[in-house]
């Protein structure tokens, strides 16, 4: 085949083919919809106070599988379950203030109803709803026990050593 025939087919020596460019994804489809849902979440919501059968609590540690351990204001440590409406939508971390619904039939378990934002938690403390022993914005509120026996990282000391002597 001649060069002219190859050129008619769309290929010729020295002719670089450019791949067709796909348009950029600018919409909020698929996973981007989930990620973009909270972009316009600047509006203030009304402060929710506890009612009968509810209690304020501070998250001690996350346990996984939609569960967490929390220290309630009434002095009881409870195993709390994150309700389905909040699961994978409202991210809860250790040290957060949450509103839990107490169970009538299990005193040591509760259900997370609401997570307070940091400014809402400060307002609750200012109104006297939260006791003074709850510390805000400090992450984990309990002492670190190192229960799992992991290397805590605080006691690791590195020494300078000559690499040739190893």
Q: Which residue has the tokens 């992450």?
A: 139
Confidence bin at 141 (pLDDT 50/70/90): very low
Q: Residue 146 contacts by C-beta under 8 Å, 6 or more apart in sequence? A: 152
Do the Cβ atoms of 62 and 68 come closer than 8 Å?
yes
Q: Which CATH number fits domain 55-126: 3.40.50.970, 3.30.565.10, 2.40.50.140, 3.90.550.10?
A: 2.40.50.140
What does residue 62 show for φ and ψ, rounded to 5 degrees?
-90, 135
Domain positions in the chain: 55-126
Do the Cβ atoms of 59 and 68 come closer than 8 Å?
yes
Confidence bin at 96 (pLDDT 50/70/90): very high
| 3-state SS, residue 6 | helix
Residue 75 reports pLDDT greater than 80: yes
Integer Cα distance of 86 and 155 in angstroms = 38
Is this prediction's pTM over 0.75?
Answer: no
Residue 140 reports pLDDT greater than 50: no
């Amino acid at each position: 085949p001649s060069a002219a025939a190859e050129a008619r087919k769309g290929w010729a020596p020295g002719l670089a083919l450019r791949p067709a460019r796909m348009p950029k994804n600018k919409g909020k489809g698929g996973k981007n919809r989930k990620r973009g849902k909270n972009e316009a979440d600047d509006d203030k919501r009304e402060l929710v106070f506890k009612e009968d059968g509810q209690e304020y609590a501070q998250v001690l540690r996350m346990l996984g599988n939609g569960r967490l351990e929390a220290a309630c204001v009434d002095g009881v440590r409870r195993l709390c379950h994150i309700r389905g409406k909040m699961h994978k939508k409202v991210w809860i971390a250790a040290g957060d203030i949450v509103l839990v619904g107490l169970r009538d039939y299990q005193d040591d378990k509760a259900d997370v109803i609401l997570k307070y934002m940091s400014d809402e938690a400060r307002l609750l403390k200012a109104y006297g709803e939260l006791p003074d022993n709850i510390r805000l914005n400090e992450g984990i509120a309990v002492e670190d026990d190192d229960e799992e026996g992991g290397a805590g990282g605080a006691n690791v000391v590195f020494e300078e050593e000559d690499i040739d002597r190893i």
